[in-house]
Amino acid sequence: MEQRYATAPQQVPSMTTEELRGHYLVEDLFVADEVRAVHSHHDRVVLVGVLPRTGPLSLPAFPEIRAERLFDRREAGVVNVGGAGTVTVDGEEHRLAPTACLYIGRGAQEVSFASDDADAPAAFYLFSAPAHTAHPTVLVEPGGGTVRELGDPLTSNRRTLTQYIHENGVRSCQVVMGVTTLHPGSMWNTMPAHTHDRRMEVYLYFGLPEDARVVHLLGEPHETRHLVVADRQAVISPPWSLHSGVGTASYGFVWAMAGENQSFDDMDPHPAAVLR
C-alpha cells in the first residue's frame, strides 16, 4: 500500500509537474494479475485496483492499516471499469458487468475477484473509507442508480451522471460513488467547476482511447494547475481542490467521495470567469 499524505493548498504554487503528479495522480493502479493500493490520508481513503487476468485474485491484508482484513473497520464501493467479472464476498458471488457497482459493507472477510474472459479482463476499482457500522453488501446493475442528465452539447459537456452509493440509494457510512459518461462529441466534465470543503473526492478516468488524454484541473479556484491524465488513472482531490477536466476524446469516470457529509449538492460553484 502506497502512502499519500495529506497536502495543504499553500504547497501547490511551488510544486513542479512531477511533484503535482506524485501527490495527486495515481498512474499504475491496474496491473495484470496484481492488487495495487494507495492510501490517501485525505479522509483516510484507500484506493485499490484489481486486474485478474490469468486467475482469480484475493484481497490481501494491508499491514499499513493494522487490521487483519481491509473490511474490519472499513467499507468500500467497487466499480468494474473493464470486461465482465465476478466479486465473491464471503462465498456469495456478485457478477459485475462493465460499470456495475458493488457496495461492500464493514465486516466482510474473504473477498476475491475474477474475470469472465482473460482476453477482456475485468478491472475492479475499490474506493474504501473508515466505517462506523455495517451496511448490507448490495449490487447495482449498470445505470441502475439515480440518473441525472447534465450539461449541453453546445458547451461540449453533455453527460449522464449515475449515482450508485448515495443518500437516496445504496446506503453507506461515508462513501458516495457513481459514474459519469460523456456523450459523443462532449469533452468537458464538471464545468462549471466546484469544491466541497466537507468531502474529498477521487476521479478515476476510464474508456479513454490509449493515445488520448484528459487535461484535469486541480487546486484552489484562484490558483489552478493541471495534470495530463491517461486511461485508468485516478486523481485525488483534497477538499479544497476543484476537479474538472477536458478530454482529447470522450471518456467516462468513476467519482467517489468521503468525509463530513453525504450531501451530493453540498458544493460551492466556481464559474469559469472566476478561475485563475
Q: Which residues bind ligand D54 (CB under 6 A)?
A: 150, 159, 161, 180, 189-190, 196, 201, 243, 255, 267
- Residue 220 interacting with Zn ion (CB under 5 A): no
- Extract the C-alpha cell encoding 106: 464493514
Flag whether 194 is marked binding: yes
Cβ count near 219 (within 10 Å): 23
First-residue to last-residue Cα distance in the chain = 35
Flag whether 243 is marked binding: yes
State the minimum distance, in angstroms, from the CB of residue 268 to ligand D54: 11
State which of positions 200-219 bind Zn ion (CB under 5 A): 201
- Extract the C-alpha cell encoding 132: 462506523
Question: Which is it for the CA torsion 263, 98, 229, 272, positive or negative?
Answer: negative
Q: 109 vs 168, which CB is nearer to Zn ion?
A: 168
Q: 158 vs 270, which CB is nearer to Zn ion?
A: 270
Which residues lie closer than 8 Å to 218 by C-beta, 6 or more apart?
20, 24, 224, 225, 226, 227, 235, 237, 241, 242, 243
Q: Distance between CA atoms of 20 and 43, rounded to whole angstroms? A: 19
State the minimum distance, in angstroms, from the CB of residue 132 to Zn ion: 23
State the minimum distance, in angstroms, from the CB of residue 179 to ligand D54: 8
Partner touching 180 among ligand D54, Zn ion, none, CB below 5 to 8 Å by kind: ligand D54
**# binding residues, Zn ion (CB under 5 A):** 1
Binding site for Zn ion (CB under 5 A): 201
